[in-house]
Chain A
Amino acid sequence: MEQKPIIETVELTKKYNGQAAVDNLSFTVHEGEIFGFLGPNGAGKTTTLLMLMGLTEPSSGKARVLGVDPSREPIRVKGMIGYLPENMGFYRDLNAWQTLRYIAELNGLLPGVADERIESALRMVGLIKEAEKKVGAYSRGMRQRLGIAEVLVKEPRVAFLDEPTLGLDPDTTNRMIGLIERLCKEKNMTVLLSSHFLHQVQKICHRVGIMISGQMVAQGHMKELAEEMPETKDGYSLEEIYMKYFREE
Chain B
Amino acid sequence: MHGIITIFKKELSDHFSSYRFLLLFALIAMVSMVTVYMAGLTITKELEGVAKPKFVFLMLFTSSGVGFSLTQFVAFFGPLIGLILGFDTINREKNEGTLSKLLSQPIYRDAVINGKFLAGAAVIAIITVSIVLLISGLGLIMVGVIPGIEEVWRIFIYLIISIVYISFWLGAAILFSILFRSVATSALAALAVWIFFSFFVPLGANAVANALTPDAGESDPDAVIKRAQIGKALSLTSPMELYTDSTATIIDPMRRTTRSFIQVGMMEQLSMARFSGPLSLGQSVLVVLPYIISLIAVTAICFAISYIVFMRQEIRSL
Contact = CB atoms under 8 A, between A and B. Distances in A.
Interface of A: 16, 46-47, 50, 53, 55-56, 75-76, 78-79, 81, 83, 85, 87-93, 102-103, 105-108, 150
Contact of B316 (A47, A92, A103): A47
B98 A90 contact: yes
Interface of B: 2-3, 6-7, 9-10, 14, 17, 93, 96-108, 314-316
Contact of B105 (A16, A78, A89): A78
Contacts of A150: 101
Contact of B104 (A47, A55, A87, A90): A55
A47 B102 CA distance: 17
A107 B105 CA distance: 7
A105 B2 contact: yes
A50 B316 CA distance: 8
Contacts of B14: 93
The CB with the most chain B CB atoms within 10 A, among A53, A55, A75, A89, is that of A89
Nearest to A83: B104
A106 B97 contact: no
A85 B107 contact: no
Nearest to B97: A89
B106 A89 contact: no
A103 B106 contact: no
B97 A56 contact: no
Given A75-B106, A81-B104, A83-B101, 19 more contacts: A46-B316, A53-B104, A56-B316, A75-B108, A78-B104, A78-B105, A78-B106, A79-B106, A83-B104, A88-B97, A89-B97, A89-B101, A91-B96, A102-B6, A102-B10, A105-B2, A106-B106, A107-B106, A108-B2
Nearest to A92: B96
A88 B104 CA distance: 12
Nearest to A90: B98
The CB with the most chain A CB atoms within 10 A, among B7, B10, B14, is that of B10
A47 B314 CA distance: 11
A164 B103 CA distance: 19
